Amino acid sequence: MNEKSSGPLMAPGTSDVASQLRVILDFDGTLVDPNVAIILVEEFAPNGREVAHEIDILLHEGKIGLREAWRRQVALLSADRMGEMIKFARHRVPLRKGAHEMLALLKQHQIPVTVVSGGLEFYIREVLEREGLDLPIQSDRLTVLPSGQMSVVHPFEHPTCRLCGICKAGIVDDRSSGRRSVFIADGSTDRYGAESADIVFARRRLLEFCRRVGIPSFPFEDFEPVTAQLTRWLEGTEPLPIRRAGGLADSPCPISQALVSTRAA
């Protein structure tokens, strides 16, 4: 059954369903076609293609985390080429097909959208500005140390857990807005966000993970089916899914574990 909002009158362009939703949108491999972190290493690091492939496999197999992946990748990139990397991101990183239409629908209905990424803010911002998209970004950031070396900082990390650079699970599970979290992502490193989300749209490795562990998810390749499904909910031709209990009992993520413990209490 569709849940009804008991809040104040809604602004024009919103619906009862719209007032219940917020969207957390992954960047690399989701909002944009490529994994930008990988192609930057391929393009600008010595033996880039070989190294990028090796790191991607280790990350996917869970042998290293995002923090370690970035430590290895950034060590291969030169601060002197930062301008080239910015230009590369601005001119060579396309949005996924249907992105503008989906984002226009969300804007029309005043549904909050945040880009939440384990990637780096500098290239995310370049692409969003190029496309005229004014969206909040929560991501890791690149900094140049006094020594001239580059380092990655993690402003959205978990206070104690170091599995990830950015705590997507915590961002997805934030209940302060009173809205359901709609998580749209693609990678194996997005699993903790999916474990915590109310609604999941998944592709590629994340879709495989969701199917393997039994997390309900809506598959997509381009954004057309995402927009179509959102439209059905917003127009009331389909009810929102029943709000699921988040978390996985065997997850190493503390947010996911806490959700399971709350259910069991």
Give percent of the chain above pLDDT 70. 93
Sign of CA dihedral 217, 262, 23, 123: negative
What pLDDT digit, counting tens, does each position of 27-47 carry? 999 999 999 988 999 999 888
Residue 235: count of CB within 10 angstroms of its CB: 10
pLDDT reading at 1 higher than 90: no
> Strand pairing partners for 22?
181
Note whether residue 151 is domain-resident. Answer: yes
Q: How confident is the model at residue 4 (pLDDT cuts 50, 70, 90)?
A: very low
Expressed as residue numbers, the domain containing 134 is 18-34+95-264
What pLDDT digit, counting tens, does each position of 146-178 carry? 887 889 999 999 999 988 999 999 999 988 888
**Distance in angstroms (rounded) separating the CA atoms of residues 152 and 173:** 24
Residue 245, burial from CB neighbour count under 10 angstroms (0-12, 13-18, 19+): exposed
Note whether residue 106 is domain-resident. Answer: yes
Q: What is the mean pLDDT of residues 232-250?
A: 92
Note whether residue 49 is domain-resident. Answer: no
Identify which of 88, 239, 73, 252 has the alpha carbon closest to the alpha carbon of residue 151: 73
pLDDT of amino acid 264:
66
What pLDDT digit, counting tens, does each position of 244-258 carry? 888 999 999 999 999
CATH (domain of 170): 3.40.50.1000
Note whether residue 209 is domain-resident. Answer: yes
Note whether residue 103 is domain-resident. Answer: yes
Note whether residue 85 is domain-resident. Answer: no
Sign of CA dihedral 28, 33, 35, 37: negative
pLDDT of amino acid 14:
57
Q: How confident is the model at residue 2 (pLDDT cuts 50, 70, 90)?
A: very low
What pLDDT digit, counting tens, does each position of 102-148 carry? 999 999 999 999 999 999 999 999 999 999 999 999 999 998 888 87
Opening angle at CA 101, ends 204 and 190, nearest 5: 30
Instruction: Indicate left, alpha or beta for 230 from its phi (over 0: left) and psi (-120 to 50: alpha).
Output: alpha
Note whether residue 230 is domain-resident. Answer: yes
Q: What is the mean pLDDT of residues 41-63?
A: 88
pLDDT reading at 5 higher than 90: no
Note whether residue 24 is domain-resident. Answer: yes
Tally of domains in the chain: 1
**Distance in angstroms (rounded) separating the CA atoms of residues 77 and 90:** 18
Residue 46, burial from CB neighbour count under 10 angstroms (0-12, 13-18, 19+): exposed
Q: Classify each residue of 222-234 as buried b or exposed e, where b means 16 or more C-beta atoms within 10 Å of its C-beta.
A: ebebbbebbeebb
Beta strands in 63-102, from DSSP E residues, in sequence order: none
Place of tokens 């009804």: 4
Q: Which residues contact 33 (CB under 8 A, 6 or more apart)?
A: 93, 94, 95, 96
